[in-house]
């Protein structure tokens, strides 16, 4: 169990699976930091524009999730980092700044080659973070959801 967990989210269903795991790993009086990286293009033409067209919707979705967590008694904060830098670096820096005991994130389940081509936060994060990283696969999140339905 961890006292402070940084939940790295991109506001997708896979990230929601990681949230469920983060809440299980969080100590009863622990603190959850929901972290969303608002990555921006650099350069002349598109410089400063979000890399994802639905960034504002994603941020609003995570904000609602944090509000729901707070309403249920979880000590939760929402941190957004707008950056031109690497997402992995920003997650690791934010975890260190908030003295997180662990980082929890989801993964799309790409293999080594596909992850290298598409870019895999979950594959790179354990190599740069200064705390343990718990990676929740899509299959693990689905298994957990199926268990919740049957109980």
User: Is residue 26 over pLDDT 90?
Assistant: yes
The Cα–Cα gap between 94 and 7 comes to: 11
Q: What is the pLDDT of residue 52?
A: 73
- Number of structural domains (the chain) is 1
Q: What is the CATH number of the domain that holds 91?
A: 3.40.50.620
Per-residue tokens: 135: 């990676």
pLDDT in tens, 57-111: 999 999 999 999 999 999 999 999 988 888 999 999 999 999 999 999 998 654 4
DSSP state at residue 128:
H
Domain that holds residue 134: 2-150
In order of 94, 97, 98, 124, 147, the CA distances from 6 in angstroms are 8, 11, 8, 16, 25
pTM of the predicted structure, to 2 decimals: 0.86
- Taking the C-alpha atoms of residue 5 and residue 133, their distance in angstroms, rounded to an integer, is 10
> pLDDT at position 138, please?
86
Supply the DSSP symbol for 126.
Answer: H
Contact 25, 104 (CB under 8 A): yes
Average pLDDT, the chain: 88
């Amino acid at each position: 169990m961890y006292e402070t967990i940084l939940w790295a989210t991109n506001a997708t269903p896979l990230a929601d699976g990681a949230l469920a795991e983060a809440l299980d790993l969080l100590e009863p009086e622990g603190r959850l930091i929901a972290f969303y990286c608002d990555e921006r293009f650099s350069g002349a033409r598109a410089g400063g524009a979000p890399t994802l067209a639905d960034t504002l919707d994603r941020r609003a979705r995570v904000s609602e999730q944090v509000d729901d967590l707070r309403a249920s008694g979880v000590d939760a904060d929402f941190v957004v980092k707008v950056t031109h830098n690497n997402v992995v670096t920003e997650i690791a820096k934010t975890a260190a700044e908030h003295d997180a005991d662990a980082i929890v994130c989801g993964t799309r389940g790409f293999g080594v080659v596909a992850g290298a081509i598409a870019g895999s936060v979950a594959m790179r994060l354990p190599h740069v973070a200064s705390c343990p990283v718990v990676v929740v696969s899509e299959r693990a999140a689905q298994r957990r959801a199926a268990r919740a339905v049957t109980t």
